[in-house]
């Protein structure tokens, strides 16, 4: 997936709220929108190397910049929580995700009852598959973990996907780790045990759970590999 925006190097100063970073860009201190509401405390440390894009004044946004990436231990990490959906959409269309090579998109953002899922897919036999995509940025000791902040919405999605399976349909959750340095995935049990339990129950009921890592550069994001998922609470 190509990154169409031109990115500029900056230095992280502070984060006044969940959606705002203060960044030094070429000697100018600017406010930059942060499109990831997660805690990100291990990534956004004073002096961290950020990459931001400029937003034209014609957009009528309050901030003139958007924070896209941080360099952490030499590795670029995407901070745009909506990018995995765009990445998965393009990858589904190009057939780059091995677990979905026999599927095509029927409709994005498909609503079932009170729940909206990221994609409704269909396989070669015309069988439907409901897919939810989640962004992951937290990695510790090589293990990607989600969520790094309590997610009631994520818990409800897991329960809704389980109910779909129990009604005879097929569904799954794809976690996209927006960095290449993870070799396994687990729920962040200590941060949100309710989500972890809901995901565990959904998997036991038959909901598919995958996690993939991606390579991140200033120009593109590409599929790297699928990594093992461990849903047990240690």
Q: Average pLDDT over the chain, rounded to whole?
A: 95
33-78 pLDDT per residue, tens = 999 988 999 999 999 999 999 988 777 788 999 999 999 999 999 9
3-state secondary structure the chain: CECCCCEEEEEEEEEEECCEEEEEECCEEEEEECCCCCCCCCCCCCCCEEEEEECCHHHCCCCCEEEEEEEECCEEEECCCCHHHHHHHHHHHHCCCHHHCCEEEEEEEEEECCEEEEEEEEECCCCEEEEEEEEECEEECCEEEECCCCCHHHHHHHHHHHHHHHCCCCEEEEEEECCCCCCEEEECCCCCHHHHHHHHHHHHHCCEEEEEEEEECCCEEEEEEEECECCCCC
pLDDT classification of 94: cutoffs 50, 70, 90 = very high
208-228 pLDDT per residue, tens = 999 999 999 999 999 999 999
Over range 150-169, report the average pLDDT. Answer: 96
Predicted local distance difference test score (pLDDT) of residue 131:
98
Predicted local distance difference test score (pLDDT) of residue 231:
97
Domains of the chain (ranges plus CATH)? 7-77 (2.40.50.580), 83-227 (3.40.1350.60)
Better-scored residue on pLDDT, 55 or 25: 25
Predicted local distance difference test score (pLDDT) of residue 113:
86
Q: Strands 208-216 and 143-146: what pairing?
A: unpaired
Predicted local distance difference test score (pLDDT) of residue 168:
96
Predicted local distance difference test score (pLDDT) of residue 219:
97
- Please tell me the least confidently modeled range out of 52-61, 113-122, 153-162: 52-61
Predicted local distance difference test score (pLDDT) of residue 64:
93
Q: pTM here?
A: 0.95
Predicted local distance difference test score (pLDDT) of residue 234:
76
């Amino acid at each position: 997936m190509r990154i169409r925006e031109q990115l500029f190097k900056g230095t992280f100063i502070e984060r006044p709220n969940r959606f705002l970073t203060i960044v030094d860009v070429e000697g100018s201190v600017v406010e930059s929108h942060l499109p990831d509401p997660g805690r990100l405390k291990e990534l956004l440390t004073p002096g961290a190397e950020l990459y931001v894009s400029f937003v034209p004044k014609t957009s009528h946004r309050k901030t003139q910049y958007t924070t896209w990436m941080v360099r952490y231990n030499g590795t670029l990490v995407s901070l745009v929580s909506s990018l995995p959906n765009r990445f998965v959409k393009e990858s589904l269309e190009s057939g780059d995700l091995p677990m979905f090579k026999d599927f095509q998109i029927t409709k994005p953002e498909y609503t079932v009852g009170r729940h909206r899922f990221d994609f409704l897919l269909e396989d070669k036999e015309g069988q439907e598959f409901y897919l939810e995509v989640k962004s992951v940025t937290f990695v510790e000791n090589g293990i990607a973990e989600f969520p790094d902040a309590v997610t009631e919405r994520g818990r409800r999605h897991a329960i809704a996907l389980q109910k779909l399976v129990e009604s005879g349909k097929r569904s799954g959750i794809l976690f996209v780790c927006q960095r290449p340095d993870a070799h396994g995935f687990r729920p962040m049990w200590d941060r949100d045990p309710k989500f972890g339990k809901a995901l565990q129950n959904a998997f036991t009921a038959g909901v598919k759970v995958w996690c993939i890592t991606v390579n991140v550069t200033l120009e593109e994001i590409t599929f790297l590999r699928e990594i093992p998922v461990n849903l047990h609470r240690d």
